[in-house]
Amino acid sequence: MIEALLIPAPAAAPALIRCEGLSRKYRKGDTEVVALDDVTLEVADGEFLAVMGPSGSGKSTLLNLLAGLDTPTAGGVVIGGAEVSALSQAERTAWRAAHVGFVFQTFNLIPVLTAFENVNLPLALTPLSRGERRERVATALALVDLTDRADHYPHQLSQGQEQRVGIARAIVTDPAIVLADEPTGNLDTDSADEVVRLFQILAEKFGKTVVMVTHDPRMAGAASRREVLEKGRLVTGCRRSG
């Protein structure tokens, strides 16, 4: 339940995500394109991981595999004991709805819906009562400091506010994992700082596991750990000091 967001998470941090020998290849005409090549990676429960790399390095491919939006050519993805890469498409869809929140670079808000209504969308197919849904949405908007913008439409919000609505929508189901694909790419510096600070809070205070892909070294520096993808292969990462 989203009320768990209000309770600080315990310090223990076992591995939640495990990728072993993960590869993704596809064909482009007569050419075989290697998007991801033999990636082995663990992400701890409650960790904020930034994955860096230039365009075409495999960052988004990795996120799609972690979310169960795609399946690997080789290797596997195990999250919380579930072998996500072995699930059927329908099973992956159900698993993703229960365990993953996604934050997009382009926000992906529905323009004819208010901030409140956009955040409420992931709850539409849940068995929660209307009152329970309203409480969850209110809690998520409060967490991103947008209670006073609940009735505003996307065009009435700044881009930074739109992205914070996107984060509220991602966490309203209380997922264990938040995946963010270039979430600061369309934002000014101050708004970008607010977004990564929210990711820090979600990981450090509420125990959410956050995986953010970015090409921006400054944004990556806010994460507790950084890894770098180059031409589909993972190279040595580093941890944030202090």
Query: Which domains does the chain possess?
Result: 15-239 (3.40.50.300)
Specify the pTM: 0.90
Predicted local distance difference test score (pLDDT) of residue 242: 52
Predicted local distance difference test score (pLDDT) of residue 173: 95
Q: CB of 24 within 8 A of CB of 61? A: yes
Predicted local distance difference test score (pLDDT) of residue 29: 85
Predicted local distance difference test score (pLDDT) of residue 238: 60
pLDDT in tens, 36-92: 999 999 999 999 999 999 888 999 999 999 999 999 999 999 999 899 989 999 999
Predicted local distance difference test score (pLDDT) of residue 91: 94
Predicted local distance difference test score (pLDDT) of residue 240: 62
Closest CA to 42 of 60, 66, 9: 66
Predicted local distance difference test score (pLDDT) of residue 56: 87
Residue in the structure block whose two tokens are 């979310």: 67
Q: Is the dihedral of CA 215, 174, 202, 68 positive or negative?
A: negative
* CA-based end-to-end distance of the chain: 32
Size of the chain in residues: 242
Q: Which residues fall within 8 angstroms of residue 110, CB to CB, at 6 or more apart?
A: 117, 118, 121, 154
What are the C-alpha distances in Å from 189 to residues 22, 107, 115, 202, 213?
34, 17, 23, 20, 17
Predicted local distance difference test score (pLDDT) of residue 30: 85
Q: CB of 36 within 8 A of CB of 58? A: yes
Give me the phi and psi of 175, to 5 degrees please: -75, 155
Predicted local distance difference test score (pLDDT) of residue 13: 59
pLDDT in tens, 178-191: 999 999 999 999 99
What are the C-alpha distances in Å from 162 to residues 6, 59, 77, 180, 200?
23, 23, 31, 14, 19
Q: CB of 212 within 8 A of CB of 180? A: yes
Ranges in the chain, pLDDT < 70? 1-13, 236-242
Element (H, E) at 198: helix 189-204
